[in-house]
């Protein structure tokens, strides 16, 4: 008689699940209602029924490298129709939160960003970095009201006579360029580890790997387009209105990405030859209009998601978690502080404008520096999980397993 499969549950993982919103998983008795209502489910992949079994058994290694977990849009149908109140959506959210810490690099920072009790430290790190640089740069010597009307916040970190590159631009670059580069590298390390483990679990051979060009054109780019189009969000039932928040939020990030790159090219590169470009951008400049519209779209989008999340907790009994609320609060802080800093600048209130600009810089730093370890990481992990989904159904994998 064949020996049965040996199950070695990770008890620490089970304990984590209970504290991160997945404490209801023991109520599941495998009726498969969740798989019937989920658009991601198929006869060969009964999602999320199989994930609920693995979670009950504490099979951490199978769950963190399960692309289906990342593909879940938490539409809420599985939780709504569950006759036992097992809340599969909460369980899957807890698994994703654990995966970002599990794959996080470096592990110390990943674990720090995984718990609400560490929030003061998470805020203190950028607050001290930016505050110290502000103090030593001479930025505390605020300009008079007339000068402030002319230069705005472009002298926040002080002024020097080197006209080809302002002190403000220089210090912002040495703060944010390394922070963004670190976040991208950490995300790359995390996604690479996840992809390697997904491939191992799916028995995908690397003999027939696509070229970089093939991977981008055939798997990665179609996944990005699908995410931008919000195709899978539109398949949701219970929480379908989440698209009303996600879409303006996504578009706001695209708009602000364009604005940031424009400012970098114009002020940091072209500005070396034309110092006059270093001043505040005119309110009638199309890029400035795009920046203001994007900021408003960000606040509106995250406000809708804030309301939706609150409703889910009040009406559907969804568990409140640091994993969800940290990102919501962080994006709201970025949008509000940036917009208020701009409005107070236009009103000539330099003290308030400086204060909100400082808070804006701190919140932006937090958003990007902690990206690989928070729910924001889902943007990266989901994209590559979608790419893996397309890859494992491609001829590359079919040839490898035949």
Residues 175 and 56 in one domain: no
235-263 per-residue burial string, b: 16 or more CB within 10 A, e: under 16: ebebbeebbbbbbbbbbbbebbeebeebb
Residues 144 and 258 in one domain: yes
Q: Whose CA is closest to 77, among 25, 21, 31, 39?
A: 39
Residues 74 and 139 in one domain: no
Q: Where does residue 163 rank: exposed (0-12), middle (13-18), buried (19+ CB within 10 A)?
A: exposed
Residues 151 and 63 in one domain: no
| Among 102, 121, 155, residue at a domain's last position | 102
Residues 173 and 228 in one domain: yes
Count of domains for the chain: 2
For residue 235, what pLDDT is reported? 64
158 within 8 A of 139, measured Cβ to Cβ? yes
How many alpha carbons lie under 13 Å from residue 80 in its C-beta half-sphere?
A: 14
Is position 98 within any domain?
yes
Q: Output the CA torsion sign for 316, 322, 327, 329.
A: positive
Is position 174 within any domain?
yes
DSSP letter at 286? Answer: H
Is position 33 within any domain?
yes
Is position 80 within any domain?
yes
Residues 83 and 202 in one domain: no
331 within 8 A of 367, measured Cβ to Cβ? yes
Is position 1 within any domain?
no
Residues 88 and 213 in one domain: no
DSSP per position, 134-179: HHHHTTTSPPPHHHHHHHTTTTTT---S-TTS-HHHHHHHHHHHHH
Residues 36 and 158 in one domain: no
User: What global pTM score does this model have?
Assistant: 0.86
For residue 1, what pLDDT is reported? 39
Q: Give the Å distances, CA to CA, from 191 to 12, 70, 150.
A: 23, 12, 45
264 within 8 A of 293, measured Cβ to Cβ? no
Domain range spanning residue 184? 107-401
Show pLDDT as tens, one digit a residue, over the chain (402 residues): 345 556 666 777 877 777 776 778 788 888 989 899 888 787 777 888 889 988 888 888 889 999 999 988 777 788 888 898 888 888 888 899 899 999 999 999 999 998 899 999 999 999 999 999 999 887 667 788 888 888 888 889 988 877 777 788 889 989 999 999 999 999 999 999 999 999 888 877 655 678 889 999 999 999 988 887 766 666 666 666 666 778 888 889 899 899 888 887 887 778 777 777 766 777 788 888 998 899 999 999 999 989 888 887 787 777 788 888 999 999 999 999 999 999 999 898 999 999 999 999 999 999 999 999 998 898 899 999 999 988 888 887 764 444
187-206 per-residue burial string, b: 16 or more CB within 10 A, e: under 16: beebbebbbebbbeeeebee
Residues 177 and 278 in one domain: yes
Residues 348 and 333 in one domain: yes
For residue 401, what pLDDT is reported? 45
Q: Output the CA torsion sign for 22, 27, 32, 38.
A: negative
Is position 3 within any domain?
no
- Whole-angstrom Cα distance, residue 183 to residue 261? 17
| Among 67, 102, 137, residue at a domain's last position | 102
- Whole-angstrom Cα distance, residue 275 to residue 20? 51
Residues 91 and 163 in one domain: no
> In the structure encoding, which two tokens stand for residue 212, read together?
């970089």
Is position 6 within any domain?
no
What 3-state DSSP class applies to 365?
helix
Size (the chain), residues: 402
| Among 102, 122, 150, residue at a domain's last position | 102
For residue 106, what pLDDT is reported? 96
- Whole-angstrom Cα distance, residue 125 to residue 314? 34
Residues 96 and 113 in one domain: no
Is position 90 within any domain?
yes
For residue 149, what pLDDT is reported? 82
Q: Give the Å distances, CA to CA, from 258 to 142, 193, 223.
A: 30, 30, 21
For residue 2, what pLDDT is reported? 45
């Amino acid at each position: 008689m064949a020996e049965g499969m040996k199950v070695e549950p990770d008890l620490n993982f089970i304990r984590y699940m209970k504290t991160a919103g997945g404490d209801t998983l023991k109520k599941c008795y495998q009726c498969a209602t969740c798989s019937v209502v989920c658009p991601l489910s198929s006869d060969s992949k009964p999602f999320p029924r199989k994930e609920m079994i693995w979670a009950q058994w504490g099979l951490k290694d199978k769950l963190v490298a399960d692309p289906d977990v990342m593909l879940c849009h938490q539409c809420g149908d599985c939780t709504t129709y569950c006759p036992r109140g097992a809340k599969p959506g909460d369980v899957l959210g807890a698994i994703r939160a654990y995966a970002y810490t599990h794959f996080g690099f470096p592990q110390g920072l990943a674990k720090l960003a995984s718990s609400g009790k560490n929030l003061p430290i998470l805020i203190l790190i950028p607050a001290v970095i930016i505050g110290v640089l502000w103090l030593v740069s001479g930025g505390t010597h605020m300009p008079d009201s007339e000068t402030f009307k002319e230069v705005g916040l472009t002298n926040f970190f002080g002024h020097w006579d080197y006209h080809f590159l302002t002190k403000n631009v220089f210090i912002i670059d040495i703060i944010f360029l390394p922070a963004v580069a670190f976040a991208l590298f950490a995300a790359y390390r995390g996604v690479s580890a996840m992809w390697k483990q997904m491939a191992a679990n799916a028995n995908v051979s690397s003999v027939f790997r696509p070229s970089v060009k093939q991977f981008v054109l055939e798997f990665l780019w179609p996944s990005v387009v699908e995410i931008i189009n919000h195709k899978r969000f539109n398949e949701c039932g219970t929480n379908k209105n989440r698209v009303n928040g996600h879409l303006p939020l996504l578009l706001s990030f695209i708009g602000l990405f364009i604005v940031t790159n424009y400012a970098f090219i114009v002020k940091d590169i072209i500005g070396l030859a034309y110092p006059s470009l270093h001043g505040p951008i005119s309110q009638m400049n199309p890029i400035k209009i795009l920046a203001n519209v994007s900021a408003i779209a960000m606040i509106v989008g995250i406000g809708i998601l804030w309301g939706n999340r609150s409703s889910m907790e009040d009406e559907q009994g969804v568990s409140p978690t640091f994993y969800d609320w940290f990102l919501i609060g962080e994006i709201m802080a970025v949008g509000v502080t940036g917009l208020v800093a701009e409005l107070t600048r236009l009103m000539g209130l330099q003290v308030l404008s400086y204060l909100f600009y400082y808070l804006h810089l701190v919140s932006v730093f937090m958003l990007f520096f902690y990206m690989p370890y928070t729910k924001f990481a889902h943007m990266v992990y989901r994209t590559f999980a979608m790419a893996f989904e397309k890859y494992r159904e491609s001829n590359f994998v079919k040839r490898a397993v035949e």
